[in-house]
Structure 1
Amino acid sequence: MTPHTFRIGGELDVRRLGFGAMRLPTEPGPDRENALAVARRAVELGVTLIDTAHLYGGGANEELLAEALHPYPEGLLITTKVGVARTGPGGEWKLDGRPAILREQVEQALRRLRLERIELLQLHRIDPDTPLADQLGTLRELQTEGLVGRIGLSEVTVAELDRAREIIDVVSVQNRYSLLDREHEPVLAACEAAGIAFLPWRPVAWGEAGAHAGIAAVAADLGATPTQVALAWLLDRSPVVLPIPGTARIEHLEENIAAAGLELTPAHRDRLDGLDLPGDGAPAD
């Protein structure tokens, strides 16, 4: 039986199938009203882990979640990410892990999310132009000050994870990973060995899953959709995997959440494990 919950950092109990808020529109109008409804419906359906980031609209996504869900129900974890800023040429987005930028984004996130403390903060990407010790040291200082509870990373290699763990206690890793994209399999293995939560982003290759004959066949056997099969495979893959599928449509949200109740047979699992994968995976965005 697949476990349905995981304790991040040994302390934060969440249901393993979460929600990624990146796709939610934030501009005023009907689309925003629908986005608020989607966020609220996710919580109604039992989601206790919602992922956002400063990058998503320059904080607008964080504000949307606060409008939809504050005051937050007990047990809801909203995790956000920092380290990408409009500090490139002409105000373009770029990786920016300078201490002042990280601190400013955390302070903005606290205000936008209406929180006194971010229980799980993730470094969106490692900035190659800033010493890693400076980036992680800043997050550790924010943790010591009580503004951050726990620290995670995103899009890291095994070597980068090992280096980071010499500086801080890493409780989560958010890398691109799915049934059809297993490039970061070594990182997942390292997380499983260390009991670190692994949050796959882009956990479903939209369209590709339905077009893959092997996935479609398993879906037909189970009376499920290819998307549900892809999510069920992730949940079955390792107890540290916490998928965060995102959508702006309630019907897709409900379809995704229902995947938590889908149990793969050993034969289905073997078939999915042995799929022919397309290439070596797309490059990280």
Structure 2
Amino acid sequence: MRNLVRHAVRLTVAALTLSLLPFAAAPAQAAAGTFRLSAGEQLGTNARLVSPNGQFALVMQSDGNLVEYAPGNRAVWSTGTNRAGSIVRMQTDGNLVVVAPGNISVWWTGTNGNPNAALELQDDGNAVVYGAGHVARWFSGVRTGSGDSGGSGVGARIASIARGEAANAARNHETGTNCNYYSGALSAGSKCAGGWRSEAWCADFARWVWGQAGANTAGLTAGAISFQGYGTKRGTWHAGASLTGVQAGDVLGWRFGGGTADDHVGVVVAVGADSVTTVDGNYQNRITTRTIRRGTAGVAGYTHPQS
């Protein structure tokens, strides 16, 4: 009898203990009609943010693409993710992430390191991730009447394609020495396995991404310096490490060797108040996403694409 009593007591204590354990909270959904996605909140399928003036909407579409619409139901910016069933989440670390089924991150702003940042859709059409002190850490670049400025048009397409390739495990790396998909797609370099081709490929990656987005790639080659030449010829090259005016879709040039010619390039995918995020081909033998601070030594400048 005493054994039965002790067993019953143990069961009671166990049940009480289980009742006190915290349940894992599901991510909060943003309130309907709000302009703000706060830390820990998400937009599910067909949910949206609406600017305070009601003119702009940021919609997490059922096809998995996060799209901003301007008056007239005109799409002016998107992540280009197209993974059905995706959601967009404002993480508590400050990173805004599109998450596909299977908990796979397929697009992000690279703003982690800014705890409790929030995304706001402004009256001017710009979607902005604000960190502590309401300091902008990333923005889409869309503004009323801006046309193709920063986050819209070809710039947005370039950034989305570059992000997608960074997440593409089938080809976001090289095999052997410089054997890569992008040189193969451009019929550049020398033959290697599987239809890929071999040569130093940071510029080939950036050129391929621009071409896929519909940008003019005339004059671009496998040489990183060709992007500076492209911009100089067209008046879209901006020298200096401060990166004043840089936009998503631009190509950033580096001079790692300390010489006068660029020897590496990366595609700009996000712009913050004091940092820039790029997706670089042939960085550590793969496609790598990097966030650098403005003024970083070795940055030569950037080139803006033309359609």
Give the shorter-chain TM-score range: under 0.3
Relative contact order, higher structure (CA 8 A, sep 6+):
1
The normalised TM-score by structure 1 is 0.23
More strand by share: 2
